[in-house]
Amino acid sequence: MPGINEVAELAGVSTATVSRALSGNGHVSSATRQRVLTAAKTLGYVVSSNASSLATGRTKNVGVVIPFLSRWFFSSVIEGAESALLSHGYDLTLYNLGGGGDERRSVFEHFLLRKRVDAVIAISLELTPGEVGRLLAMNKPIVGVGGPLPGVRTLSIDDVEVARLATEHLLSLGHRAIAHIGGDPASETDFHLPTNRRVGYELALQAEGISPDPELFHVGDFTIEGGYRAAKQLLGQPRKRPTAVFAASDEMAIGTILAARDMGLTVPRDVSVIGIDDHELSAFFGLSTIAQFPALQGQMAVEILMEELHPSARHAGAPHIPLPYELIVRGSTARPVSR
């Protein structure tokens, strides 16, 4: 493997010039730059990122910490972040906390501090002040996706508003008995997402003078199966079967559609269903939903990081950036049929 010396020798210049020519820092006459470039190419020279990092203090690598990986939403965020980073010449080092246990501690106290990453993107993770503090103390910018984090620039959708919008869609169609399948607030790690979505749902109902009925709420676990089970309960109630269901995620909404079918109910005739996410399966199931764009979220997180890493002019940047969302109406929602 050729080093910078070989290139310098071949090009007939000093290593400093090679470094300048290749990195673009400092002036080099285009003639010599050309020579350096061809020399590097013929030798197949590639800089050693370690040596470079050691000398500059920058690694061109960012750590992404995430609670799960094998879930559409998360892997999509990563996908967006990864390609954005790649295009900026950065690497992405992945830390999946799924395993639970000591993993989280070891990642934060060890892996992330080894000067291997320039910055950290935390996805749907409520970092502790200690975790944030340590990272910031080492001068590593953090950007959070999924909720507000004190002292950290974050990106998130307004869960209350999103839920309200979904509920309003149902309301505007004429539904009054609207059930909600949400997450278990007891086990919420993700910035009270389940609670916020439930609040949005209730606000929308109240604005129409409807008081939320606790019997019209069931807990799912953000999976198709969880949604299926909750929907069975909801749709099986003899007295007050809802005419519509708002699920806090598309996966639960799909479970609801499947449950309805299994009970012989037709969607949307007998029951309307709406979710949140615009999951890859949602179009297939004709599910109305509020799209949030996970890949875009990953990409935006990277852009913000780049701003922090390369502060350009007076670019303060808001501490918290709201993420776009959009109501997508497909076939699973319609006016209720009067029975």
Partner DNA sequence: GTGAAAGCGCTAACAG
Partner DNA sequence: CTGTTAGCGCTTTCAC
Q: What are the residues binding DNA (CB under 7 A)?
A: 3-5, 12-20, 22-23, 25-29, 31-33, 45, 47-48, 51-52, 54-57
- How many Cβ atoms from other residues are within 10 Å of residue 55's Cβ? 9
Strand order in the sheet with 288-292: 217-219, 178-182, 244-247, 272-277, 288-292, 325-328
Q: Which of residues 79-118 bind its own copies (CB under 8 A)?
A: 79, 82-83, 86, 91-96, 98-99, 103, 106-107, 110-111, 113-116
Q: Measured between alpha carbons, how far is 280 from 82 in angstroms, rounded to an integer?
A: 19
Residue 151 contacts which entry, DNA, its own copies, none (Cβ below 5-8 A, type-dependent)? none
Strands (E), the chain: 61-66, 91-96, 119-123, 142-145, 153-156, 178-182, 217-219, 244-247, 272-277, 288-292, 320-322, 325-328
Residue 5 contacts which entry, its own copies, DNA, none (Cβ below 5-8 A, type-dependent)? DNA
Answer yes or no whether residue 273 interacts with its own copies by CB under 8 A. no
Residue 3 contacts which entry, its own copies, DNA, none (Cβ below 5-8 A, type-dependent)? DNA
Give 219's strand partners: 182
Closer CB to DNA, residue 19 or residue 124?
19
Closer CB to its own copies, residue 115 or residue 335?
115
Closer CB to its own copies, residue 243 or residue 297?
297
Q: Which of residues 170-229 bind its own copies (CB under 8 A)?
A: 224-225, 228
Do β-strands 325-328 and 288-292 pair in parallel, antiparallel, or remain unpaired? antiparallel
Contact residues toward its own copies (CB under 8 A) are: 1, 46-51, 53-54, 59, 61, 69-72, 75-76, 78-79, 82-83, 86, 91-96, 98-99, 103, 106-107, 110-111, 113-116, 138, 224-225, 228, 261, 280-281, 284
